Amino acid sequence: MEACDPMQLAAHTFGFVWQDSAEAAFETLGAAGFRDVQLMAAPPHFDPWRDDAPRTTRLRAVIARYGLRVVAGDLASSDINLASPSSEVVSFAVDAYRRLVARCAELGAVDVCVGSGRRHALLARANDRLMESFRPAFRAIVAEARRRGLGVGLENHPQGLLADAATIRGFLDAEEYRDVGVIYDVANAVAIGEDPVAGLATLGPRLRAVHLSDSPLGQWRHDPIGSGEIDFTAIGGELRRQAYEGPVVLEILSDNPLQGLIEGAQRLVRDGWSFQQGPWS
């Protein structure tokens, strides 16, 4: 990839969920040189259901100390379903997102990351009915985010009702969500057989963030960059073609999450990527 303007590099805290609190993860990432972070709002790492003022104060102190920016917060997809045929399940999921919005607003986050529930993998014809649950649920979350001054990024997910780039863009266009963007995960795209370069091209100006991790083709993984088959040179080239200015978020799961993030950034730099800050730039 030819040299291009430096991109914003962010680190996702997903890899820290079972070993560190959000406060400890922010501290670790800030000390390592990251300045943009995305928060996985999932216990035991961070409980979004709790209104915890002392925790917020501690997190904001770490954010201020390192000059961090929380680019987004998201929920564990295994805990919620905005596309359930059960109204009680959908109500629980919407309430969870309302609480996430509140936590993100407390931390000065830019966006809230929202998934599209879970489709019925064995009964495809049921998915039109599931959209009847998802549409009003998503509308309520967007309204709450707007009220709190947050942006919304709809994320592609291999189990999601809206799993691929064209379907996501079609939904946002049809529902006239002009101010809602997409958080596009390249490994999630590969898991359903979508070419992430084509997906990025389809979404274009809808992109609010891009999640990077590696995976064998056709599998759903978030492995260290360079360990799988994803073509990051081609992905970087597409982002450069678009003059993309949003955050690039490393969302890597490994036994040593910080090492996986740093080595991922270094690998991307060797492949021609350029980032705005950090010892890897």
Give the residue among 135, 158, 139, 157 at the shortest CA–CA distance from 147: 139
Query: Is residue 280 situated within a structural domain?
Result: no
Q: What's the pLDDT at 278?
A: 75
CA distance 205 to 208: 8
**pLDDT one-digit tens code per residue, 145-177:** 999 999 999 999 999 999 999 999 999 999 999
Query: Is residue 281 situated within a structural domain?
Result: no
57 pLDDT more than 80: yes
**pLDDT one-digit tens code per residue, 23-43:** 999 999 999 999 999 999 999
pLDDT band at 122 (very low <50, low <70, confident <90, very high): confident
| pLDDT, greater one: 276 or 140 | 140
**pLDDT one-digit tens code per residue, 60-94:** 999 999 999 999 999 999 899 999 999 999 999 99
Domain that holds residue 24: 8-270
Which CATH number does the domain housing residue 243 bear?
3.20.20.150
CA distance 122 to 131: 16
Query: Is residue 275 situated within a structural domain?
Result: no
State whether residue 236 is helix, strand or coil.
helix
- What is the tally of structural domains in the chain? 1
Q: What's the pLDDT at 281?
A: 62
pTM to 2 decimals? Answer: 0.96
